[in-house]
Amino acid sequence: MNSTRLLPALAAAALGSVLQMVPARAQTPAPQEPVVITIKTPPGQMKYDRPVISATPGTKLRLIFENLDEMPHNLVLCRPLEGKPSDKGLEVAQQAWQMGAEGMAKNWIPDSPRVLAHTGLVPAHHKEELFLTVPEEPGIYPYVCTFPGHAMVMNGELRVLTQGPALTDLNFKLYLGEWDKLPDFSKLTPHRAGPLPDRLVDIKLEGMSEHFGVRYEGTFEVPQDGRYEFFLSSDDGSRLSIDGRAILDNDGIHPASTVKSRNLRLTKGTHRLMLDYFEGNGEEQLYLAWSSKQFSETPLSKWIHPSRDDGGGAEAPGDPNTGIPLGSQNGEAVIYRNFIAGSSPRGIAVGYPNGTNLCFDADQMAPALFWRGAFMDAKRHWTDRGSGAQPPLGYDVFSPAADGPALAVLTDPNAAWPVKKPRAEGIRFRGYTLDAKRCPTFKYDIGCVAVEERYEPVGDTKNGDGALIRHLTFTCPMAPPGLYLRAAVGNLQPHDGGVWAGQGFQVKVIKGSPLTRGQSGTELLVPVEFENNRASVDLLYRWNS
């Protein structure tokens, strides 16, 4: 499929010449060669591979939307919502969802003046093209998939940028040494010094990789009185000073995971800038930028923070560690044991053949996370220092009971659940075994009770019905009274023998006698009832759509 959708007449009339849709089949010659941007949907991840793209006003774009997923998606480019720059196109998506039965026939495109351009509903493994002219007004223009339920995670931004003034008279002084905090460079002798003629802060200084520091000094021109915002991120420590006053401090040993910012009022004219930086070991990264009402966030450094990257590379913007995806193959499960965001350091992630995934927390003996689609990306822990925790790669991430152990002995059904500790007291993990499809069975003891826990994949996420059945078996020569399993916690809504636990995720008891307790149902408990020194509980975990 290779076509172009024209703007609805109402939207075209309202927009005038701000955005022009050029039919691809007409082969109309353009005054300038369009910039080609390709946006793809990675399989099983419910996202665009480029959540940020950038362009200058008036640029002509040829946007290629390639759907590599197993379900249909569209791409709808929207005007910013007045007063809500972080809207992400959700208002337009919600209007699409209200179309009801006629939504599919209209490709889930609502009749909204906020819609600037759109594809149709592109089937799996097809692509579609748009030709458009970037709006003249700077700002953030969201794009979103309006297919029902997708917009919450499947959205991105077209950043229409105008550049602010660059630095002038920029110089550096290089120092050698090992520090864990910024030293007072004014008391040290530089190893070497010189100008930076391209007027961008650069830490890739010849011959330097570890154990050094740099002081950058220069000037910049403020075009008019007003408020200006400065942005700073670094690996390792940095500190920004304007006119001799420190305004941003990012000192210490750490990765460049976040961007700090500071807003201050400046008068028209020339101002002085000083930036101190040191590198311990590992990555060398330093991002500096500024913005105002008159111009977009303008980098003053050669290195661009991934959250500000326009997604032109192979790696996903905002996540510099995407690149070694793991997943189930040949009908077998895959296991990933490393630091996983949302779990304790003893998290064990499992990707099942039906496209469902979980992370079992071996400190709490509880499932810490469920998600579907793509499994995990191993690059963070494969390259460089391997620091930090890796989040799930897929979508619809849900935590059913993340604030304590899954099993506890209670004096009565209303007794308080044990508070969460780094490791659940009275429970001992005994590892896991793998079946013929490499699906694990987790084994652990609580007191005298030996527990085996396994998850059976049913359905398939490609068909919208992927789910997991959790089987727990208990054996004990002297079965203890008052043993309970806590299956879910939060704002629970009873439904069909289980609960809706939030975000369209259902926990259903299919073997056992469930009970909810707390106001509005805050906990779902299942008593473990022994017979002949054995007991079993089965639960179903699934998403609504």
SS3 101: helix
Q: Is 81 exposed, middle or buried (0-12, 13-18, 19+ CB in 10 A)?
A: middle
Report the pLDDT value the prediction gives residue 11, as an integer from 0 to 100: 36
> Which H or E element spans position 90?
helix 90-97
Q: Give the model's pLDDT for residue 31.
A: 54
Q: If you ran DSSP here, which 8-state letter would residue 185 be given?
A: G
Q: Where are the domains of the chain?
A: 9-160, 168-307, 325-543
Nearest to 45 by CA among 322, 280, 332: 322
CB count in 10 Å sphere of residue 433: 12
Three-class SS state of 390: strand
CA distance 196 to 121: 49
The architecture (CATH level 2) of 325-543 comes to Distorted Sandwich (2.70)
* Model pLDDT, residue 222: 96
CA distance 489 to 400: 6
For residue 341, with 0-12 CB atoms within 10 Å meaning exposed, 13-18 middle and 19 or more buried, which class applies?
middle
Fold agreement (9-160, 168-307)? no
Given a cut of 70, the residues of the chain with pLDDT beneath it are 1-32, 85, 207, 309-323, 382-387, 401-402, 497, 502-503, 519-521, 545
**138: nearest Cα among 163, 155, 113, 117:** 163
* CATH T-level topology, domain 9-160: Immunoglobulin-like (2.60.40)
Q: State residue 313's pLDDT score.
A: 38
Q: Which residue has the tokens 């805050």?
A: 522
> Residue 184 carries which side chain, given as an amino acid letter?
D
| Pair 217, 185: CB distance under 8 Å | no
Enumerate the β-bridge partners of residue 506: 500, 542
- Residues 509 and 539 sit within 8 Å (Cβ to Cβ): yes
Quote the pLDDT of residue 138. Answer: 83
- Whether omega for the bond prior to residue 236 falls within 30 degrees of 0, making it cis, is yes
Strand order in the sheet with 155-160: 52-55, 155-160, 139-144, 76-78, 115-118
Instruction: Tell me if 243 sits within 8 A of 271, measured CB to CB.
Output: yes
Helix (H) or strand (E) holding 395: strand 395-398
Query: Tell me, what's the pLDDT at 401?
Result: 61
CB 288 within 8 A of CB 219: no
CA 331, CA 219: separation in Å to the nearest integer?
61
For residue 119, CA distances in Å to 56, 87, 201, 328, 393 come to 22, 20, 40, 32, 26
Strand partners of residue 413: none
Say what the pLDDT of residue 175 is.
94
Residue indicated by tokens 């007991």: 535
> Are residues 96 and 148 in contact, defined by beta-carbon separation less than 8 angstroms?
yes
The pLDDT of residue 520 is: 58
Q: How many helices (H) and strands (E) does the chain have?
A: 2, 37
Indicate the Cα dihedral angle 249, 251, 254, 257, nearest 10°: 10
Tell me the two tokens of residue 406: 């899954």
Could you tell me the fold of the domain covering 168-307? Jelly Rolls (2.60.120)
* Its pTM surpasses 0.85: no
CB 331 within 8 Å of CB 379 = no
- In 3-state terms the chain splits into helix, strand, coil percentages (rounded to 5) of 5, 45, 50
